[in-house]
Structures are given as C-alpha cells and as structure tokens.
Chains A and B, each alone.
Chain A
Amino acid sequence: MKLKIRLLCLGIFLATCLQQAMAQKTMITGKVKNKSTGEPLNGATISNEANQKSAFTDANGDFSIQGEKGQTLSVVYVGMTKMRLKITNTVGVEFLMEEGNIKLDEVVVVGYGTQKITKVSGAINTIKSADIEKLKPVRAEEALQGRASGVTVISPGSPGAKPTVLVRGIPSYSGANPLVVVDGSLQTIDDLNSINASDIESISILKDAASTAIYGVKGGNGVIIVTTKSGRKNRKAEFSFSSYYGMQEVARKIGLLNATEYGAMLNEGSVLSGGNLIFTDLSKLGVGTDWQDQVFKKAPMQSHSMSARGGGEKMTYFLSAGYTGQGGIVGGADKSYFNRYNATSNLSFDLTPKLKLITNTSFVNIKGASIAENAINSVLGNALNFDPTVPVYNTVPNTYGTYSVSNRILSENYNPLTQLDNTHNYSNTNKLYGKIELQYNILKNLSFTSRYGYTNTDITGKSFQPLVYYGDGHINSTLNSDGSTKSGSHNSVAQNKNTFYSYTFENYANYNFKVVGGHSLETVLGFSMAKNTGNAIYGSRQDVPFNSWDFADISAATGTAANSGLSTGVSRYERRNLSFFGRFNYDYKERYLASVSLRRDGSYAFGKNNKYGNFPSFSLGWNVSSESFYHFKPVKVFKIRGSYGITGNENVNPQFERILSGIYSYNLGQNTGYTFGNDATSTGAAVGSYLNEDLRWEKQKQLNLGFDAQLFDGKLSINADYYEKNIDGLLFQPSLSLYLGTAAIPSANVGKIKSNGFDVTVGYNTLIGKQFKLTTNVSLTTNKTTVTTTNGGLITGGSYGIAGEQITRFEEGYTPGYFFGYKTNGLFQTLDEISKSPTQANAQPGDIKYADVNGDGVIDAKDRTQIGNPFPKYTIGWNLTLEYKGFDFNTFVYVSLGNDLFRAYERNLAMTNKYRGVLGRWTGPGSTNDARNPRFVFADVNNNTRASDRYIEDGSFAKLKNVQLGYTIPATLYRNKVFSKIRVYAQVKNAVVITKYSGYDPEITNGDAGILETGVDRGAYPQSRIYAMGIDFKF
C-alpha cells in the first residue's frame, strides 16, 4: 500500500492517492419488497457490515452489493423496520420488510453532522421531502407552517414575498429571522426564495440552545437546516418529472358601499356638518363601480421540474431543473409576478477511497414585478377608497386617459386602474450558490471536512413613474386634462444594481468512537470564516422621452443634475465572522445521553472589548424505555430531554468615531458650520459619534425541557417541549451623563426580553384493514414574550393613516410589536353624558367616547395604551393523510389564535368610499353604542379616526391551507417499464378561511419590514385561493 498525501495551506486541499487494489469482487444480488403488499421497494439502502459497502435498490427493488457468504447485510427503508440477514446464498436474497412505526434508526441533520434520532437530546423538528412535495410551496418556509411546532410562519400574499418566520417567539425588535443553512452553507431566509421545493430532501429546525449554540452568534433566532437531494451510489439513473398548473383567485372581497349608499352617506355627512347635499338625486347613482372587481384578476400558477438522480461506483449525481411561476391576483399576472428558473447539480466524487469531493451548484433566475402594496394609496388601498360613482372608463370627451377620474377625491386616492396602467416595477435576479466540499476519512471513524459555501446574488431593478392624469386638481396629477404636462412635473426612471456575495469557509473534524462497556462518543471540532457583503449602486433620472416605458432608461432620459433631474447613490455593507466550534456527544448504551457544545464567535461588528463571544450549551437525555426495569407496554418508547445554553444575535453595526464635516448633519442633529459676517458658511468639523467599545451580541439563554413518547406500538407519537428564553443585550440608548455633549450616543446592550412557551407535536398513524392507511399529526405552538427592560427606550412603527400615527411599539412591560392607541368606551349619546365624562375636547353626541386610562379626567395622548397584539397566542397545524390502494388524500389545516389586526386601509376622508360598517352608524341617542360606528360627519371634530381599538379586529383564523387528492396509477397499467411511478392529483390551496376579520385575509405580513409592521392591514396583498392539477412521473 502506497499512500502519498500533500497538504497545501491557505485554503486548497489537494490530495493524490494511489488506490488500494480491491481484494473482494464477489457480488451478492437480491430484491427488497414490502412484506404486506409485495411491492418492490425502490431506494432501500443495503449495507454490508463486513466491508462497509452500501448499495440501493432500483425501481424493481433489485440490488447488487459486494460481499460473500457468511457476512451480514442490513436494509434500511423509510417507514420500515430495519432488517439484518446473514447471507447464505449470494443470489436471490430476498428482504421482506415490515412497516415499522418505531423510527429508531431515523437520522436527523444537525449542525455540522447528523445524529441518530434516539440519541438526540435537543429540540429538533424535521420535515421530510414527502410532506414538502405534497404541498408544492413556492417558498420552502410555507412547508414549515403548522408542521414544525415552535415555528410561527405568517405568509404574505404577494407572489414570492418573504414571510415572517419566528422560531419560538420574538427575540428582538431588530431582526428575528432564523439562520438558514443550505447543505452546510450559511444563508439567510431571503435565500429561501431560490430553492425549488422538489429539490429538498429534508428541513430540520433547530430550536433549543443545545442544537443552535453550535451556530453561536447566528443561532439566536433558531436555525433552519435545508438538505437538498443528492445522488446515490451504484444506482441507475432515476428520472422524475413533475408538473402542475393552477389558477388563482381572491378568496373574498371587502364589503364596501355601493354608489347609492355612498351618495347617501356623503349627503348625510355634509348636511350634518352644515353643508349642502352632495348628490341631489340618489336614484341616478345605482350600484356604481366596485373597484375591487376591477383590480382582482385570475392569475396562473405553475411549476414544472425534472430531475435525474443516480450514481456509479465512484461518483453520484443529482441534477434538476425547474420553473415556478406565480402571477399576482392584484392587477393580474403582467403587473405582479414571481417567475423562477432553477438549475441544480449536486455531484460527489470519490477521488480516492478516503477522499471525497462534493460540489453542489445551483443557478437561479428570478424575474419579479410588483405593484404598490399595503398602503392607503396602494392598488388595493385605491380599490377600497376610490369613488364608486364614476364609471370604469373615461367617458368625458376631450380629456386624457383611458380610465375615469373623480372630481371629488383630490388627494392620495385615485383610480386604481390608472395606477396599475402606470405601474412599471421590475427586477431580475441572478443567483449562483452552492458549495465545494472535501471529506477526508483519515481513519474509519475520523473524518475531516473542508467546505466552501458561497452565494452570489445580482439583482437589477428598474421602475418608471410616468406622468399621470388622475383628474383636474388632484394633487398627484402630473398631467393636465388635455394630456399636457403640468408645469414643474417630470416623469422619472429609477434603476439599481445590487450585488450580494457571501461565503462560509468551514473546516471541521468528526471523530466518533466507542469505549468498551457501551460508552459511545461523537465529537466535532472546527473553525469557520464567513463574510457577507452587499453593494448597491442606484440612480434615477427625469424626463423619459414620450413619457413611455419603451424609453424608460437612464440612458434615454434627459434630466440634468443641475436641475435635480439626475441623481446617483451607492451603498455597501459588510460583515465578517471568525468562529471556532466543538461538540461532544456521549451516550451510554443509548440509554443516557449527554452533549456539550461550545462556539466562540468573533465578529467584525462587535466592539473592541467584546470581539469574541462564547456560546456554550449542554443537554441531557434519558431513554427511559431502554432501561431493563422498564416494562410499561403501552408506551414503548419514552425519552426525557433537557438542555440549557446560550446563543446570540449579531444585529449590531460596527461603530467608529465619526468626524462630521459639513454644515449640518440631519440624522445626528449636529451643526458644525458657522457663518462669519456675510461670508459663505464655513464648513467645520466635530466628532459626531461616540464609540462603544463594549458593543456586543444580543445574548439569549434558553432552557428546554421535553419528552418523546411512542405509544401503542408506535402508532401514536408525542413530542413535547417547554422552553424559557431570557434575552439580554438588546440595543437601546444607554443613560449617559449629559455633560458628554450632543455627539451621538452609541447604542448599548441594555434591553431585555423574556419568552416562554410549549411546542407539541402529536402524530398518529395506523393501518385500517390491509389497505387503508391513515396518518395524521397535530402541532401546537404557544409563545408568550414580554419586553422587560429598555431603559425607557421605545421603538415605534406601523404607520397608520396619512398622518402616519405610529401604532406599534416595542416597549418595556409589553409584548413586542403591540398595538398602541386609545381605548374606546362606546359612544356619547347625549350632551349630558359628555358633560359628565372626562373632558374630551370637541366631542359631540354620536362621537366616540375614549377611555380615561390614566384617570386624570382629561382624554389626551397620555391615555393611549395597549389595544391589541398582532402575534398569535397559539398556532395549530393539523395534517391528515389517507391512503387507500392507489389513492391518497391530504388536508392541512392551519389555525392561528389570538392575533389582532389593525384595520388601516380606510382613508377616512369625507369623499372616499367606506367600509359597509358605516351603515350601522350612530344616528341619534340610543341608535347604537358601538364605538366602531360613530356618527358620520364630514367635520370630524372629535377625531373619531384617531388610532384606537375601533380599528382593532380579532384576526384569529382557521385556514384549510391544502386539500389534495392524488391517484397513483397501478404499475400493472403501464407494463412497458418506462415509468416506475405515475401520480396525478388535484389540489386546492386556501380553500376555506374561517375568521371574524372583515378584511381580505387575516394572515398578513411583510417579512422584510420587520415585526413592527406585523398585523397592520393597509390593504395588504391577500393570499390567493389556488385550484391546481398536477402529475408526477418517475422512470
């Protein structure tokens, strides 16, 4: 044996080996079948325990593996009980596998390795490809919703948009996104827009500190580990093709006033304010135009993907290509869409028997278009507020424009069809990501892995704002009624180019060994370097020729910088981390489990005195049912687990002592100029910011207690966890001496949050008779989070109305992102009641009576308080699968309880259209005391539209997210052997929504905007209802 290795430092690991000549060449062949059905099992893993060889069965269940008589083969297949067999004959070996419910041999993916599920003492959820494939999600997060307990996913409706994903509550105001690890490479949740769901083998969600601490400062929000499919050794190519096509529509509309009702309300509002009738003849109005009908369109959704998977003796491959396209239901598929093209190549090569090279490469192209969303003057905002009395099309002779205008509504709101017509907002994303990994098996149980994971994203975007005519006197009109340009108005085109590059270079060794007497150890030790960069360059220019999208480009526009018609900008950011990590898992006969991990993270963003943070964790587990004294039959498997550890959150910016040089720095409130006499202002300088050398990560201490049980022969499984998190170090302004002056005081790690909750998953599966299989599981997630310290700091967000009242807050003593405003206390019925109530300026009978929360006898801003919580108290997912012969039926129900919404889509101007609720308004003493329905009057002297619980609605809902019926055509019907499997199915997503909410969709979010935007409905893009049909082939 000759072995020659050359090691090269600085990143490239090259090895040349001379192979050991193979001694054994005898092959064992055979078949693997399902014992109960007799079907051949495709993809079962055969291992020869004597020579460490492994093989897989093909579509006919056949396998062939090196080996000799007398050796022992073992077979593993998902959902089946593992089998071992001593070989007495080298041909025609038959394995008849029994369906096993006790999944003791299942392996879960954890940080820097895998772990047998029985040895896990942390809190981990795993979603398998079978579940993901059934759902056909556009983004992988969707597959986590309601399936992984402890994970709250709030999905947006806009095509391809990022959802809000919270693992065990809200750890911070500044960023709650979990870390995403794709095949070992660190990515972000934004990158999940790029992965084709059918390429995913499994998704693991690491929840407790024992599981996440190995990711240290990036692990604080939980970790989502995505493992994509890879090839298999010694397997013929398996091709699969899957395709589905569906139509989407809006699930429901909002009840608005029709033209006659609108006219009557306006008349009433005007007269009550001392004005004249607006419409003298209501009978002419009819029902008018419901603008919702005009903007909601049916839009297609489709996905087609194909893959090839297989491998030879020394290399394996998984190749896939796919297309997913989702059009938008608001405005139609040409104005908002998400179209993605994927290509993936996951290859592995045995360079030498001990050295393996794995290269995963994916290229993604995403074409996106979007419209104005979730704002009073968004397309939906306009559809809800625009004048119902005008027709759809322009009928006024000699005026500009295809669609009608209103001469009553002259600000913010306008015809949504004109708006759509003038919306041009497109982006193109090219993304290349993957990894290059070398695995060197130094010894049988010692391996060394070096991995370079990378993601390069290039985004180019362009938007064009043409000159538009929204009506004479409308403040947003930039054209006159004859189509001529209003003086001082310009159209403009904006373009941007963003490049994001990140890499993670990781090197680690795994060493697993057993000590006589049943002691078993698994260790990992390594280090990692990571860098994230972003660069953007953007520009805009006015005066696009012919006011036309065809010429909308900076190169064609003619605006000049001197006239503020041309501007450019750049931005950049960077983050670098250097980390060391290790983990030590111990078990005694798989009965007693213990694990310790430590990560030491250095970050570019941290202050000089805190460059490194240490993130330790430990966990303990006890497989009670493995004890010899354990004889409780109904509960076959019982394990208790506990863990404690520290993780971090790196959402700080690097700091420095800035020199201000200029006249005035707005964001810092610092003036450094001075104007001597009549001279020009002299530019001065001063130190504009202090440095906090102690700046560090947000630190999260988490305790987890849980158990896993399998009852009734494993038909019923229960996994339950309780956790408690204490997070400190949230960034707030510290209290410093005033005599430091006015230079910006750096944020310091002063805030604290407490969070606790339960994650429970209950699964049940059974075979009824021989053919009828039922699988169901329920997951429950609860969380309660309270901000405990902010040093008086307050973060506000969630702007409401044109005045932009801030209605969400991150504040000491409250849940994060809670709704803030006035509490209502019915309506004033009489003047007498007003005089007897706390002083409320200008109130009239019929106006809302606000609660005097602080009891000072005056209703003022100090009476504002918590009026709602946008985050659910409980979320429940219920998944049910029924299989009978070739048929399969799947439903998935998702329930969110206790989440409030702020209805902020009404403009509330005198002339804008209104929610139907206004018909139940107060009309005189005793007519109603519902604070939602005050009198309607143009002159709202009481400011009834101020932010109050009038607009808070219970957003709890139950959604039938998926219902699917599939049929797998029996193999007997296609005996040509080309196909190994054909399945057709029909699917409805978001079929039913049960909720009290009056808006489109109680599940709204803007994942990019952060937690302070959650639950504010300004006409948010609703999720579509999708009717789809599809077919999957394998051959």
Chain B
Amino acid sequence: MLENMKKSRLLIGAACWILLAATGCKKFIDYNAHEDYQITTADYFKTSDDYQKLVIGTYSPMQWLWANTVIGDIASDNSVSGGENATDQIGFQQIDDYTLTTTNSYLTEAWKSCYEGISRANYLHENKGRLNFTGKDSLYGEVYFLRAYYYFHLTRMFGGVPLFVDHRLTVSDSKSAQRAPVADVYKQIEADLLLAIANLPKSNLQKGRVTKYAAQALLGKVYLYQNKFDEAAAMLENVISGPFSLVTNFGDIFLQSGENGSESVFEVQYSNISPFYDWTNPGRGQGNLAVQACGIRNITGSSPYASGWSSNLPTKELATSFAAGDKRKEVTVLDIEAYKTANPSFNITYTVAPYKNTGLYNQKYLPRTGETSGQLELNYLNNYRFIRFSDVLLMAAEAYNRATTPNDTKAQSYLNLVRNRAFGDLLHGVTATGTALKQAIWDERRWELAMEGDRFFDLVRTGQAAAKIKGFVVGKNEVFPIPQQEIDISGLTQNPNY
C-alpha cells in the first residue's frame, strides 16, 4: 500500500515535470529576427527618421521606370527600336513594330515597378497614424504625389488596373484583386494629388523633391488626359504663376548643368555617385539605363559622346518635321554623319547602328563621357525631365483652347512663349484659333517634347495615334497588354484584342 502510494507520487511527479518542461518551452520554437540582428517591419515607424527613409524608398522605383521614356517614343512616330538585331531587346522591337505579345519584359518590369512604388507608398499610408512629428504632413504630400505618379504611369499604359490604396500588400493579397475602371483609377490619382497639393511646400531645399507645383502640374496633366480642360487650365495656371521660366538656350536643359534648372517642374533624379553593378536588375540602380540604350555604338574620338546600344533611334520623319530655324532640331536629333563631318577634329569613329539604322540619335539623352561611373553602362547620371515648364505652358494652352469657354488668346500666348524660345525670335508666333490652334499646339508638343517619352501617350490621348503611327490598331493599341503572368496567376482580364 505504502509502496503503491510512493509509486503514484513518483508518477505524478514525473508527469508534472514533463508538463512543466513542455509548457515552459512553448516559446522555445518562436523565431525573432532580432536573434539574427535583422531589422524587420516591427522595428520601424518608431522615429521620424524611419518615415523619412521610407519616403526616400518610395522615390526609388521611379528610377526603375527608365524604359517607359524609351517606350513613349518608339511606340510613336518619333523613333525606332534599333538595337543589335531583331531579337535584341525584343520587348522594344515588339513595341516599335506593333507585334506586341502579352509577354514583354519591359512592360512587366514597368508593371512590377509601379506596384512596388505603390506598395511602398501604401505602407507609409497604412502606418501614418503611428507617430507625429514636424514636417509629417508635407512628407506625406510627397508620398501621395508618388502614389499618383505610379498610378498615372500604370493607367496610361494599361488602362484600368487593380487599385490598392489602404495597405501594403502581403502574400495573402495575391490573386485577390480585379482591375478597377480607368475612371476610378483617375479619381484616386486626383484625390492623391489634391491631398499632396494641400500639404506640399512650394519649394524644397533638396532639388528633385516633390513640390506643390510638381503636384499641380501633374494634376493638370491628369485632367488633360481626362479631357477636363477647365480644371486643367485652372490647375496649370497655378504653376505658370509660379517661379518657373524657360531656359533661353534649349540645348542647355539637357546638359548636366541644366538639371533641376529654372524650367524644371519635376525630374526623376539619376546619379553616378553611387554606382552599382547588378546586371540581373540593370535598371534598378541610381543610374539611367535609357541613356546607355540610345548611345552610338563604339564611338571613339574626342566628341563629348560616349558609346551605347543604338536603341531608340529618331526617325528621319521626325527630323524633317522641324521647321527651318527651329533650334530644337539639332538638340533633339543628332545626325551622326553630319556631326562627324562638321567636327573633323574629334576624329570620330563609330559602328553604324546594325539594326533599323536611321543615322540619327537621341541627342537629348545621349550618353556623354564622364557622366557615368563604376559599371559604365548602368550608371549614367542624366535626370529624366518628366515635366518641364514648356510642357506646362503647352498643356495650359491646349486646356484654354479646348475649355468649355475657350480662351485662344491665352492659348496662343502660352504656345508662342514656347515657339519664341525655340526659334530665338518673335517671328514664328501662331495666330490660328480654334481647331487649327489645337493642332498647332499638338504639333508643337511633338517638337518641344520629342524623345522625352511623351509622344505615344499624347497621340493616344489626342486621338491622333491611328493617323500617325504605322501599325496602330484602333480599339487595341491605345493601351499595352497586361502582362500574361498577371492573366494566368491573378486572373485579370486582358485588354481588348490582345
């Protein structure tokens, strides 16, 4: 009896021990990344510096969209894809030739990059309430501008896209969304930009930071894309009355010294001071890969130009469309043979563009010696001039011309500001009105903004695409195809006729 009691006490004791040890160790198998000294999402939003850093991170994906600036011209009548052969940079070839398939690496990268930017912005939005600090409102102004920027790129390329605004997506959000109507996307863009305008400062000590004017200019553009001319005119007027002025010498805008100049409303910043070398993701560094892409092959000699991959070659038709005396022509297109002949002292040699050669190059963004570093191809410093003051003037001109109550006088005056600078005199002013004025403005946009990644979207917006672009199919090519993976995996509907 006594022995039995001992035994049961023993058993109970042993059982207790097992239980204690087992329950005490529940935490034993929890993982905390701090054990590996890793910073995780749990460590952020504790100081204003965390917010600052995340906002910087939200700017970064704009740099990844370098190919969009190429696409905007090769998809139009401004340039051809070029490259080494028909299979080099095949994504560009398809866009140029209007043989688009639903798998296009440049479109997929644009899609992913825009959503990465949106995700980074949404992450800040989701955690907005966690800390208060000085300057938070204007900082969030930048965030909402950037989100609008990414959605604007998405929607003008793809039409309606899945709309995410309240939180950073996680793996569980995969395959959960459908495409929102274009109107809803624009509504969100407008809302974000209005919020940004309300909170952003007019200027910022750091060049390239988003300002109130940048947001107003983008909103003006967004209105224009929706044919909301009255709102566009009013909004753009804010910018015109701002501190901007046209640079006297058109060519100076595209030099390094011209970056973030008096005409610059918003520029995507690139730099060569933090070179990178990741050939797996060649467009995701601080450098502008579009510059390398359009360079002259194997150019040597003492000209300022460095060599590149002969993509995005301006068409002869673009070159001949410039009126005599238009100083923008030689800033926009470089006729390499003529240039070589004109500058024998440079001792230029080069390889003729092996595919779709036009003999012309994109002078605005040609690679220049000394403007890259590290892995030379990947680190060109040239900023992408997204909205220049002349664009604002031309947009405003169009808005006044097409407003409910047109104001062609004002439209002419804005248009002619741009033309006077282009010709260096006051003799080339436009006096037309109405539809003729509208066409004059549209044509002016081409000469002013050629090779700046805007033409294709402008042609679609203004309904001129079918007339101007060979191979353009109405009802199809207004937008690019949604990446096939997104059809297969997320079950999104494809754009018509792809």
Contacts and interface: CB of A to CB of B under 8 A. Distances in A.
Interface of A: 1, 3, 5, 7, 9-11, 13, 442-443, 448, 507, 509, 526-527, 529, 572-574, 576-578, 580, 602-606, 611, 654, 656-661, 663-664, 666, 669-687, 690-692, 735-743, 745-746
Nearest to B274: A681
A1014 B270 CA distance: 46
Nearest to B162: A739
B271 interface: yes
Contact of A664 (B21, B50, B208, B274): B274
Interface in B1-34: 3, 6-7, 9-11, 13-14, 16-18, 20-22, 24-26, 28-31, 33
B474 to A, nearest CB: 28
Interface string B270-292: 11011010101100111000000
Contacts of B20: 9-10
Given A509-B14, A684-B56, A738-B489, A659 B41 contact: yes
9 contacts: A10-B24, A442-B7, A577-B29, A604-B29, A606-B29, A677-B208, A683-B53, A685-B56, A736-B171
Scoring A580, A679, A746 by chain B CB atoms within 10 A of each residue's CB, the highest score goes to: A679
Nearest to B44: A659
Contacts of B488: 735
Contact of B260 (A677, A692, A740): A677
Interface residues of B, number: 89
Contacts of A3: 3, 6
A735 B485 contact: yes
Contacts of A670: 284
Contact of B56 (A605, A664, A682, A743): A682
A738 to B, nearest CB: 5
A3 B13 CA distance: 15
A815 B373 CA distance: 45
A669 B490 contact: no
A343 to B, nearest CB: 32
Interface string B205-232: 0111100000000000000000000000
Given A611-B29, A738-B108, A739-B162, 18 more contacts: A7-B13, A10-B20, A507-B17, A507-B18, A526-B18, A657-B41, A671-B276, A671-B285, A673-B60, A676-B207, A677-B260, A681-B286, A683-B56, A735-B488, A736-B174, A740-B170, A745-B171, A746-B171
B486 A11 contact: no
A739 B168 contact: no
A556 to B, nearest CB: 31
Contact of B273 (A442, A526, A666, A681): A681
Contacts of B187: none
Contacts of B13: 5, 7
- A-B residue pairs, 5 tightest by C-beta: A677-B207, A684-B56, A675-B271, A684-B57, A741-B116
A318 B33 CA distance: 44
B273 A604 contact: no
B40 A657 contact: yes
A742 B116 contact: yes
Given A659-B40, A672-B56, A683-B56, A741 B112 contact: yes
Contact of B31 (A1, A11, A604, A745): A604
Scoring A573, A606, A736 by chain B CB atoms within 10 A of each residue's CB, the highest score goes to: A736
Given A603-B29, A686-B120, A745-B171, A737 B206 contact: no
Nearest to A686: B57
B472 interface: no
Interface of B: 3, 6-7, 9-11, 13-14, 16-18, 20-22, 24-26, 28-31, 33, 35-36, 38-44, 50, 53-61, 63-64, 108, 111-113, 115-116, 118-120, 123, 161-162, 164, 168-171, 173-177, 206-209, 259-260, 269-271, 273-274, 276, 278, 280-281, 284-286, 483, 485-486, 488-490
Contacts of B278: 664, 666, 669
Nearest to B275: A664
Contacts, number: 238
Contacts of B209: 676
Contacts of A743: 116, 119
Contacts of B11: 442
Contacts of A606: 29
B327 to A, nearest CB: 27
Contact of A739 (B9, B14, B38, B164): B164
Contacts of B41: 657, 659, 687
A13 B483 CA distance: 64
Scoring A10, A578, A686, A691 by chain B CB atoms within 10 A of each residue's CB, the highest score goes to: A686
A675 B40 contact: no
A66 B26 CA distance: 49
B489 A690 contact: no
Contacts of B273: 675, 680-681
B283 to A, nearest CB: 9
A48 to B, nearest CB: 24
A684 B44 contact: no
Nearest to B53: A685
A507 B16 CA distance: 13
B59 A684 contact: yes
A673 B56 CA distance: 6
B207 A672 contact: no
Contact of B64 (A5, A13, A671): A671
Contact of B54 (A605, A685, A737): A685
Contacts of A602: 28-29
Contacts of B284: 664, 669-671
A736 B40 CA distance: 22
Contacts of A676: 206-209, 269
Contacts of B271: 675, 681
Nearest to B491: A737
A7 B488 CA distance: 62
A365 B470 CA distance: 78
Contacts of A691: 170-171
A739 B56 contact: no
Contacts of A675: 208, 269-271, 273-274, 286
Nearest to A611: B29
Contacts of A656: 31, 33, 38, 40
A654 B31 contact: yes
Contacts of A690: 170-171
A138 B116 CA distance: 55
B30 A604 contact: yes
Contacts of A666: 276, 278
A787 to B, nearest CB: 22
B281 A669 contact: yes
A831 B281 CA distance: 42
B171 A741 contact: no
Scoring A526, A577, A602, A674 by chain B CB atoms within 10 A of each residue's CB, the highest score goes to: A674
A901 B176 CA distance: 48
A351 to B, nearest CB: 15
Given A676-B208, A685-B57, A659 B39 contact: yes
B31 to A, nearest CB: 4
A659 B123 CA distance: 12
A60 to B, nearest CB: 42
A673 B281 CA distance: 15
B274 A663 contact: yes
Contacts of A739: 111-112, 115, 161-162, 164, 169, 177, 486, 490
Contacts of A5: 6, 9-10, 13
A10 B21 CA distance: 6
A849 B255 CA distance: 53
Given A656-B33, A659-B39, A735 B489 contact: yes
Nearest to B268: A674
Nearest to A742: B116
B103 to A, nearest CB: 12
Contact of B28 (A576, A660, A680): A576
Contacts of A682: 56
Given A5-B6, A658-B39, A738-B486, A685 B50 contact: yes
